Amino acid sequence: MSDNQQDRAALVGESRLDDKVLDVLGAYHRRMDEERRAPRQEAPGGRDGGQDQRMRAVGPQTGRFLNILVRSLTAPTILELGTSFGYSGIWLAEAARATGGKLITMEVHGYKSAYAQAMAEKAGLAEHIDFRVGDAVAMIRELRGKVDFVLVDLWKDLYLPCLEAFYPKLNAGAIVVADNMIYPATEDVKIYARAIRAKAGISSVLLPVGSGLEVSRYEPE
Ligand SMILES: C[S@@+](CC[C@H](N)C(=O)[O-])C[C@H]1O[C@@H](n2cnc3c(N)ncnc32)[C@H](O)[C@@H]1O
């Protein structure tokens, strides 16, 4: 590995990622830095009628943690709720490729999903991702087959309806990760945490990784 590659790998704390993936993660990290510096322009609640250009991405710590978790599974079907511009999907799809799995990612806005798809192609990961555009709650209900991993990272008032929709579709041993459980700690995410902890077969813990992750595992009784 060259010095340049080592530097880039150290940036994301990961030495096994290939060049294409590191390049794409680097481009996302630069965009995140620009976003952090730019003044925020958005309607209250973050919904601006489809003109939203902010990535709202999970960030490198959480991305790497998702990658580690998924790499511990065998050929998992991964469900991502909230594609946005595709950052977390790169970490998930890289782990899907490494384990023989696949990623199904859902996003309500077509322009975000199209950007995510173009980035996944640059990263050499597009063939491992099924991009779906529409309302996640409705699309989860239509999902055929079961899932082994879920990332919950869309508008917070949808966490509970999504949980109700995907819970019957969890395979034994499935892992569910929900983002923004510590920051911003909204009433909606607290409702989600109580609800998933009350489900039969669920073990769950809140971890201070990134913006706070509720990590839950399903094992039927
Ligand atoms: C926090 S961002 C996701 C960030 C992404 N996981 C990442 O780390 O790169 C939340 C996304 O959920 C999307 N979203 C909101 N409501 C949705 C719905 N009903 N169905 C699908 N996606 C939705 C938003 O458009 C937004 O892009």
CATH number at residue 143: 3.40.50.150
pLDDT band at 7 (very low <50, low <70, confident <90, very high): low
Domain that holds residue 154: 57-218
pLDDT over 70 percentage in the chain: 88
Between residues 147 and 37, the one the model is more confident about: 147
Least confident of 38-52, 53-67, 151-165: 38-52
DSSP 88-124: HHHHHHHHHHHHT-EEEEEES-HHHHHHHHHHHHHTT
Q: Is 135 in the pocket of ligand 1 (CB under 6 A)?
A: yes
Q: Which two tokens stand for residue 109?
A: 């806005």
In a domain, 7, yes or no: no
**Count of domains forming the chain:** 1
**Average pLDDT of the chain, as a whole number:** 91
Residue 126 domain-assigned? yes
- Output the CA 104–ligand 1 centroid distance in Å: 13
pTM, two decimal places: 0.93
What are 168-220's pLDDT values in tens digits?
999 999 999 999 999 998 999 999 999 999 999 999 999 999 999 999 999 99
pLDDT of residue 45: 47
User: 167 pLDDT exceeds 60?
Assistant: yes
Mean local confidence (pLDDT), 16-24: 94
- Give 57 Cα–ligand 1 centroid separation in angstroms: 9
Specify the ligand 1 atom closest to the Cα of 112: 27
Q: Is 132 in the pocket of ligand 1 (CB under 6 A)?
A: no
Closest ligand 1 atom, CA of 58? 8
CA 179 remoteness from chain centre:
8
Whether 111 is covered by a domain: the verdict is yes
Report helix, strand or coil for 38: coil
Task: Name the nearest CA neighbour of 56 among 176, 187, 211, 213.
Answer: 211
Q: Is the pLDDT of residue 143 over 90?
A: yes
pLDDT at position 47, please?
54
| 85 domain residue, yes or no | yes
138 located within any domain = yes
Measured between alpha carbons, how far is 192 from 37 in angstroms, rounded to an integer?
Answer: 31
Q: pLDDT-derived band of residue 37, with 50, 70 and 90 as boundaries?
A: confident
User: Is 3 a member of any domain?
Assistant: no
Residue 51 has pLDDT above 60, yes or no: yes
Say what the pLDDT of residue 52 is: 81
The answer to whether position 46 is within a domain reads no
pLDDT at residue 8 tops 80 = no
State which ligand 1 atom lies nearest to the alpha carbon of 106: 21
Distance, in Å, from the CA atom of 3 to the CA atom of 117, rounded to the nearest integer, reads 30
Quote the crossing angle between the two packed helices 110-122 and 87-99, to the nearest 10°: 50
The answer to whether residue 16 is domain-embedded is no
Q: Give residue 9's pLDDT.
A: 58
Q: What is the pLDDT of residues 79-126, one digit of tens each?
A: 999 999 999 999 999 999 999 999 999 999 999 999 999 999 999 999
